[in-house]
Structure 1
Amino acid sequence: MLIEIDARGLACPKPVINTKKELDKIENGSVVVTVDNSIAKENILKLAKSSNCETKIIKEEENLIIIEVKKGEGSVVQVKEESELENKCIYISSDKMGSGNDELGEVLIKGFIYTLTEAKPYPKYIVFVNSGVKLTAQNKATIENLKILEEGGVEIVSCGTCLDYYGLKDTLEVGTVTNMYNIVDIMKNTSQTITV
């Protein structure tokens, strides 16, 4: 079986996620991916290596890289189907990811939340505090992906004090309003809290 993907022009992490999705569908065969940058190429090669898949660079020019990822016996890309949520909490305290350039931070948080929709099992909770609440009330791109997570069973909660501070309580578009007592309770009763 041969599957072809044209991932040119797609922002990170979509090329690698699309590749993984296609590899997950087959037991044996090849996925041929076309990308237009070295970062996408390296991410696909890392995915293949971690999955014991063979790779071959078919073509490599300035803005055109074609990679074959061959899945066969011994490959471990197939992920077990998980319907349950992991007893984990993702704690998001900013509408940007990392420090340094704010524009880059906005791109990164958007990519992070999108990637969560593609990484199962989902966490049980996503908690938003401080300017992180803007992601549940103002940012259309993150709201769309958070709704996917919510439909998958993730409990999305935003700090009421924070929503009030930013004047967003009446514009919350996904999840529910909560308080600090509940946030502490969530963090105490999950096996792991991952702070972003």
Structure 2
Amino acid sequence: MEKKLDCKGMACPLPVVTAKKAMEEFTEEGIVEVVVDNDTAVQNLLKLAAKSNFAAASEKKSDEEFVVRIEVKPDAGAEKNENEKKSGPTTVVISSATMGSGDDELGKNLMKAFIFALTNVTPTPDNIIFYNGGAHLTVEGSASLEDLKNLEKAGVNIMTCGTCLNFYGIAEKLQVGQVSNMYDIAQTMADSGLVIRP
């Protein structure tokens, strides 16, 4: 079985997400061949293959065309996943509408890409907590609402700090998840086996 994917022109993390979905469709050994237009995408695809215990190789065809071939073996990652079972829930904590510091426009784009990426990671997080500026991401007008609603449908518990919603005057605009309080937020974080802060 062989699948060819043209991911040229796709912004991060779409080449990885597209390749991951294609790999998951394999029921027998085969090859996923991904064409991308930058070296960053190549490195991300090679990391995806390594994380899944799949062999992979890349070839530079030109300055704007790279080919990554991933040897998919559906059972190769099973033992690794079994050994990586976590000791408690995974909680993502988002305290800002932007990711990182520096340029705010870039930060907004990075946060949107991060939340989209969460819809495709395996397993999905158990909880996502929003507080302070992060509360803006769960209300009307947020560019991440569709992805957050998809995460909620997938069983992710989404909590937004009620004090924060009230402070910013956006409590009535909440579109996804539930209004929470600092005790529940602190307890959820304390009970977690892994807390991720982007």
Q: TM-score surpassing 0.5?
A: yes
Compute the displacement of 1:71 (Å): 2.3
Alignment pair present for 1:47 and 2:41 = no
Question: CA RMSD of the aligned region, Å?
Answer: 2.4
Compute the displacement of 1:50 (Å): 3.5
Compute the displacement of 1:53 (Å): 2.8
* Contact 2:92–2:196 under 8 Å retained in 1: yes
Taking structure 1 as the reference length, the TM-score comes to: 0.87
Partner in structure 2 of residue 65 of structure 1:
66
* Contact 1:9–1:36 under 8 Å retained in 2: yes
User: Which runs of 5 or more structure 2 residues have no equivalent in the other structure?
Assistant: 82-87
Partner in structure 1 of residue 13 of structure 2:
13
Q: In percent, how many aligned pairs have the same letter? A: 40
Compute the displacement of 1:139 (Å): 4.8
2-side partners of 1:146 and 1:50: how far apart?
25
1-side partners of 2:191 and 2:73: how far apart?
41
Taking structure 2 as the reference length, the TM-score comes to: 0.86
Alignment pair present for 1:155 and 2:148 = no
Give deviations 1:9-56, integer Å, cap 9, x for gaps. 211111012112211222311111111111111111222233343334
Alignment pair present for 1:143 and 2:149 = no
User: What is the aligned counterpart of 1:119 among 100, 113, 121?
Assistant: 121
2-side partners of 1:68 and 1:77: how far apart?
21
Alignment pair present for 1:94 and 2:96 = yes
2-side partners of 1:78 and 1:69: how far apart?
19
Alignment: residue pair count: 192
2-side partners of 1:158 and 1:95: how far apart?
13
Partner in structure 2 of residue 83 of structure 1:
none
Compute the displacement of 1:111 (Å): 1.1
2-side partners of 1:148 and 1:73: how far apart?
26
| Structure 1 letter corresponding to 2:64 | N
- More off after superposition, 119-128 vs 63-72: 63-72
